[in-house]
Amino acid sequence: MSGTLSTHKRGADRSKTRIFGTVHYVNQSVKGRVVDLSATGMALELEGPFAAAKGSRVKVQSEDLGHIEGIVQWQHRNRLGLQLQLSTNTLAQISSYFRFFHEDVKPTLAG
């Protein structure tokens, strides 16, 4: 058995963000924030419980990004990973965010 681990490389580099928004799925809505974002996916930290299985289509609504759809790739505790549904509209929204709003997020130290 090989001692090397197989790693999965993301298709696009992600940038740390602090975008606030709401995730919607069927009759659920939960507030949260996008903690990292790329042209192909995002990770969110949610404020409350959220039940959506891998492969479920969800919508994210925020002032900075507008309405974006994605497919759940993973969920662990209060974190959620989405693969974005790539359309010209989604790509334009992500591109616009990086062009006009994004600032590098620096880690903060808890006291």
| Token reading at 92 | 């334009």
Task: Say if 2 falls within a structural domain.
Answer: no
22 occurs within a structural domain: yes
- State the CATH number of the domain containing residue 77: 2.40.10.220
Q: Cα(48)–Cα(42) distance, rounded to whole angstroms?
A: 18
pLDDT in tens, 97-106: 777 665 555 5
The total domain count for the chain is: 1
The strand pairing partners of 60, in sequence order, are 23, 68
Cα separation, 109 vs 111, in Å, equals: 6
**Domain hosting residue 95, numbered range:** 15-100
Residue 5 included in any domain? no
In this structure, is residue 72 part of a structural domain? Answer: yes
Instruction: State yes or no: pLDDT of 47 exceeds 50.
Output: yes
3-class DSSP state of 93: helix
110 located within any domain: no
Contact 90, 97 (CB under 8 A): no
Looking at the domain assignment, is residue 68 inside a domain? yes
Q: Establish if 70 belongs to a structural domain.
A: yes
Give the span between the Cα atoms of 101 and 96, in whole angstroms: 8
**In this predicted model, what pLDDT tens digit does every residue of 65-80 receive, in sequence order?**
889 999 999 999 999 9
- H/E segment holding residue 81: strand 79-84
Give domain status of residue 4, yes or no.
no
10 Å Cβ neighbour count for 37?
Answer: 25
> pTM for this one?
0.73
